[in-house]
Amino acid sequence: MLEQNEILEQARQRNIDDALAEDIGTGDWTANLVPSKPVRAQLLVRQSAVLCGIAWFEETLKRLDPSAKITWHYAEGDLTQADTPVCDIEANSRALLSAERACINFLQTLSWTASITRQHVDAIAGVSPNPQGCAVLDTRKTIPGMRQAQKYAVRVGGGQNQRMALWHGILIKENHIAAAGSVTAAIKAAQGLNSGVTIQVEVETLAQLEEALAAGAVSILMDNFTIAQMREAVEINQGRALLEASGGIDLEQMRAIAATGVDRISLGKLTKDVHAVDFSLRIAA
């Protein structure tokens, strides 16, 4: 086990180390075809998207050219317009060519996560009868090594994070319940750890939900509940615990789920079903 839990800045530096190591390795032969000289370039975005990953882009390039200058036309979290410039770059030709793919890989991946998160957040705006509103959350279904970055992108898109990792909170799922013997036994065991982290329990039926509440649960994840079951769960709960809907939820279901009054909706697709926002870098002739 590790001696400490990784924070975002540490994760970003590791991400950049890994990206440059895997792409450049012992050297970029192709970049050596061009003279080493200052050049100007422009990064374009080919579609509308929520921009995310500026720090990853900048720091990757500056690892190879510390004097590189980048002027951004959009800020982190801005909605870009298709076929518009995202930033102007002044850098060493070889450094820029060597860093280009890693820089764009970060930007295209994180911008996608921020964009799809924003889409789901916007879908439930103003719908929830819950006084606290309804939050959109991610899960731990992330690209290996990129969890901190992807969860950061969810926040940029207006979502919230479920637990960051196993160290960050206790989530009692069906296999934990089966091994412990019951919902009550699993909750009591979790409470007995005095871990100082949040405790959440996953339930699959209304009967399990009632058992969890009776055992003192303060956060309950409802797995694959119907809309009718969610409404009933909200009535049973009476605000005693945070209620979270999860399980194969698509965009078309979001408004109906939020309208039941649940506190949160968690979606694996925000970080699991990864696509790439289309960016293109061009060096000025």
The type of residue at 194 is N
Query: Helix, strand, coil: what percent of the chain each, to 5?
Result: 45, 20, 35
Q: d(Cα 79, Cα 258) in Å, to the nearest integer?
A: 24
Give the helix ranges, DSSP H, for 25-81. Answer: 54-64
Q: Which of 138, 202, 211, 263 is catalytic?
A: 202
Q: Which of 14, 40, 62, 101 is catalytic?
A: 101
Q: d(Cα 94, Cα 38) in Å, to the nearest integer?
A: 9
Query: Does the active-site annotation cover 141?
Result: yes
Residues in the chain: 285
Q: Which of 223, 232, 255, 278 is catalytic?
A: 223
In 3D, which of 160, 156, 41 has the Cα closest to residue 110?
156
Query: Does the active-site annotation cover 272?
Result: no
Give the helix ranges, DSSP H, for 34-180. Answer: 54-64, 93-123, 147-156, 174-180
**Are 173 and 202 a contacting pair, CB within 8 Å?**
yes
Q: Which of 17, 46, 173, 188 is catalytic?
A: 173
Query: Does the active-site annotation cover 173?
Result: yes
Q: d(Cα 13, Cα 133) in Å, to the nearest integer?
A: 35
Q: d(Cα 44, Cα 283) in Å, to the nearest integer?
A: 11
How large is the angle between the packed helices 8-24 and 54-64, nearest 10 degrees?
50
Query: Does the active-site annotation cover 223?
Result: yes
Q: Which of 141, 155, 231, 272 is catalytic?
A: 141
Give 111's contacts (C-beta < 8 A, 6+ positions apart). Answer: 49, 50, 51, 52, 53, 153, 277, 279
Residue numbers annotated as active site: 101, 141, 173, 202, 223
